[in-house]
Structure 1
Amino acid sequence: MGAVRGWVFPAVRILIWALIAVSLVWLAFVRADPTSDAETAQPSADVRPPLVTVGRSDLSNTVSLTGQVNADPAMEVKATQAGEVSKLFLSPGAAVAVGTPIAEVRYEREPTSPPPMPTSSDPGAPASPATPSYRYVTTTSTAAGTLATVPVLVKQVVSVGDVLATVSPGTLSVSAPLTQADQLRLLAAPTAATVSVPGGPAPFGCANLSIGVPEGAPPTVPSPPDPYAPPVDPSSAPTGAIASCSIPPGTTVVAGLAATIDIEAGAATDVLVVPVTAVEGSVATGNVWLVTAGGGTPVLTEVTLGLTDGVMVEVKQGLTEGAQILEFVPNAEPPGIGDGG
């Protein structure tokens, strides 16, 4: 046992250290030699811009907007004659129809005959005052619904245009704000839309679709840019315009609920399409960079555009099926940069 400890173990340790030394020499002078693997020593990178092939597809321009259910505003019943309120026919809460009497206004009629001669024997006595003559005008409701307010009192003097009452139509509508991109996709919008209310009834049709800036709304003034805020895509900024449509009577919704408006603004079948990232411009006309068969510098090519779904856009003129173009507009910000996210 003493011979094993004295000779064998030291010999094994010397052998292990020798193997470690040989391995280090091989790693340092053989494995790391750049001439031993010329291929792996050469750096490489593919800097060619990504391309996309022009193809055919079906396209649907459906714009989805997030909005809210609102009660339609009350209609104002205004005085058409200056004078004094002589009678109020109804109180708030009463049901009214178009033409229902709301208030009566009394005004003094201009005298049409000279004042009567004095009856006194004294020629200097003043003439007797003429008896005033009055006329009465009945103001009627201009809308059907429920009488909401009557902000005047009997014997109150009113002028032409003063509000005598307001009538709530009792109807609902849904509206949603529009961005610049939404408005450009809705240049030829239909007159109806489909509305979905989370947790509410099944999606239903919504008539009388209107798009534009509400009457009397103040102009939209852009706020000064924040130098510390991330960049924002201008097409995603609100414009002050809204899309609004009337909810059918009997639909089980209430004011204040969130809703989604889906507006189908056109569809096309089997048309040439390219990604919107490949086109400079989005409405009517645009530019793409066409790659020629022999390679070389891509050629700026003008195209005529059609429908878009926000991801792909229809090309009506300027390209042929199978042509290759740059997938991204040169010098444009990559997707995801400049959208505020």
Structure 2
Amino acid sequence: MRVFRRVILPVAWLAVFAVIAVTLVKIAFVDGLKPDDAVAGPSAQVAIPVVQAARATVTNSVEIKATVQSDAPVGVRSAAAGVVSHIFLEAGAKVALGERLYQVRTELPPEPIEETEQSTTTAGEPGASPPRQVARVPLYTYTDVLAPVSGTLETMTVLLKQQVGVGEVTGTVNPGTFTVSGSVNAAQQYRLLAKPGSALVSVVGGPAPFTCPTVILKNNASSDTPATGGGGGLASAGGGSVGRSVPYAQAGGPAGGGSAPEQDNTPTGTLSCAIPSGVEVFAGLGATMTVTAGESANVVTVPLTAVQGSVKDGIVWLAPAGSVPAAGGDGGPAGPGAAGSAAGPPAEAPANAAPPEQRKVQLGLNDGTVVEIVSGLAEGESVLEFVPGAPAQEQPGAQFGPGPMGG
């Protein structure tokens, strides 16, 4: 036991410490001098999205959020000046268009006085007598004041023997009708230049969708030029259907000093339509008006994001030479009738390629996603999917950041 404690145990501890020391020396002076393996870091290649012009069917349908409103009462105006001689109806009565409400008596101007008998003696001579005259009988005309519209006689402010003047408002008739009306912005007004004649109205919590036959489009009060749809809307030169492009910045991007304004949703006009009689609605109900202003079948189209311009005229940027299809698709055009898609999966152009070439095109209808190319671009030609300098589009999908808590 004494030998184990004095000889064997110390030798064992020395062996352990020696192994530890050798290991530390190897790690510090042998393995530490070897070159580290290269670690692959994150990398990315900037590519320019490219899309091909393809044939599709473009349906120019505009959806507008609207509200059901009661039509304002119509004033009853006196058609003549005079005294009220008779009242046919009182306030609260149901009236029809053209029905008599009250009557106005107007006295005619006096006629010249006629001599009935005169002496044969010359006036001024002795014995001459003054002529005798016939008393004038007053003459009157009677004018009926009629209801301007059908409805309920809401107010009647005239009394018997009251003096009224021409054009004086003497009451109101509530037509009991409704109008659905909603605001439109400048982009929607451009899309409605083709003068829609009717709208499909869907009332929240109301009856089944129904057709509103007469659509009226007019500018806000700040504009002096009204515009109507169906009954005579904003006229486009040439009478053809026209489209619009998304109002992006000028070509050249931020480096060129231009900024990219966002699309303005400020209301610039009002679209309204009289609700047909027999449709049960109430004032204040929400509604959606769907207005279709033209359809173009099997036409050359590109995404709206690829076009810069205004009504009829636009500019696209041709893809540089050497563009390659993006991963996951061949970049080929979509088949005819592919509504809502101008082309297949976008292609990508090298970031170091030559600057894209501008080309003017003629625009037709658009559905808010794609726009018809009337001329200037052939089917299959590749253009930049986004206007140079346009703001980045937020892509749907997973977002970076802390996720929801809990399991």
Q: TM-score range by the shorter chain?
A: 0.7 to 0.9
CA distance, structure 1, for counterparts of residue 385 and residue 100 of structure 2? 67
SS in 2 for 1:63: strand
Contact 1:207 1:245 in 2 (8 A): yes
- Counterpart of 1:90 in structure 2 is 89
With the length of structure 2 as denominator, give the TM-score of the two structures: 0.66
- Counterpart of 1:305 in structure 2 is 363
Shift of 1:70: 1.4
Q: Does 1:273 align with 2:301?
A: yes
Shift of 1:185: 0.2
CA distance, structure 1, for counterparts of residue 281 and residue 18 of structure 2? 87
In structure 2, the CA distance between the partners of 1:75 and 1:11, relative to structure 1 (3 Å rule), is: same
Residues 101-112 of structure 1 aligned to structure 2 (within 5 Å): 101-112=100-111
> What code does the residue aligned with 1:219 have?
S
Larger Rg: 2
Q: 2:389 aligns with which of 326, 331, 335?
A: 331
Bigger Cα displacement from structure 2, 7-16 vs 245-254: 7-16
Contact 1:115 1:130 in 2 (8 A): no
Q: 1:212 aligns with which of 218, 240, 250?
A: 218
> What code does the residue aligned with 2:378 have?
T
> What code does the residue aligned with 1:30 have?
P
SS in 1 for 2:47: coil
In structure 2, the CA distance between the partners of 1:140 and 1:15, relative to structure 1 (3 Å rule), is: same
CA distance, structure 2, for counterparts of residue 206 and residue 4 of structure 1? 105
Report the number of matched residues.
309
1:15-43, Cα deviation, whole Å (9 max, x unpaired):
39946982898579632xxxx53x947x8
- Counterpart of 1:228 in structure 2 is none
CA distance, structure 2, for counterparts of residue 9 and residue 16 of structure 1? 10
1:108-134, Cα deviation, whole Å (9 max, x unpaired):
2211133999xxxxx9xxx99966543
Contact 2:66 2:287 in 1 (8 A): yes
SS in 1 for 2:161: coil
Contact 1:99 1:140 in 2 (8 A): yes
Contact 2:113 2:134 in 1 (8 A): no
CA distance, structure 2, for counterparts of residue 313 and residue 21 of structure 1? 71
- Counterpart of 1:134 in structure 2 is 140
Q: 2:267 aligns with which of 238, 251, 269?
A: 238
Contact 1:67 1:175 in 2 (8 A): yes
Residues 313-328 of structure 1 aligned to structure 2 (within 5 Å): 313-328=371-386
* Structure 2 alignment gaps of length 5 or more: 117-128, 225-259, 323-352, 395-407
Residues 75-86 of structure 1 aligned to structure 2 (within 5 Å): 75-86=74-85
- Counterpart of 1:120 in structure 2 is none
CA distance, structure 2, for counterparts of residue 130 and residue 114 of structure 1? 7
With the length of structure 1 as denominator, give the TM-score of the two structures: 0.78
SS in 2 for 1:154: coil
Shift of 1:171: 1.8
> What code does the residue aligned with 1:300 have?
Q
In structure 2, the CA distance between the partners of 1:315 and 1:88, relative to structure 1 (3 Å rule), is: same
CA distance, structure 2, for counterparts of residue 75 and residue 102 of structure 1? 14
Contact 1:59 1:269 in 2 (8 A): yes
CA RMSD of aligned residues (A): 3.7
CA distance, structure 2, for counterparts of residue 62 and residue 25 of structure 1? 75
Q: Does 1:167 align with 2:170?
A: no
Contact 1:68 1:176 in 2 (8 A): yes
In structure 2, the CA distance between the partners of 1:321 and 1:8, relative to structure 1 (3 Å rule), is: farther
> What code does the residue aligned with 1:194 have?
L
In structure 2, the CA distance between the partners of 1:22 and 1:99, relative to structure 1 (3 Å rule), is: same
Q: Does 1:11 align with 2:10?
A: no
In structure 2, the CA distance between the partners of 1:159 and 1:44, relative to structure 1 (3 Å rule), is: same
Q: 2:27 aligns with which of 4, 18, 22?
A: 22
Bigger Cα displacement from structure 2, 129-138 vs 178-187: 129-138
- Counterpart of 1:224 in structure 2 is none
Shift of 1:99: 2.1
CA distance, structure 2, for counterparts of residue 256 and residue 135 of structure 1? 46
Contact 2:74 2:175 in 1 (8 A): yes
In structure 2, the CA distance between the partners of 1:60 and 1:6, relative to structure 1 (3 Å rule), is: farther
Shift of 1:287: 0.3
SS in 1 for 2:309: coil
Q: 1:248 aligns with which of 258, 268, 276?
A: 276
Q: 1:287 aligns with which of 315, 321, 340?
A: 315
CA distance, structure 1, for counterparts of residue 165 and residue 32 of structure 2? 103
Shift of 1:144: 1.7
In structure 2, the CA distance between the partners of 1:132 and 1:300, relative to structure 1 (3 Å rule), is: same
Contact 1:103 1:164 in 2 (8 A): no
In structure 2, the CA distance between the partners of 1:85 and 1:297, relative to structure 1 (3 Å rule), is: same
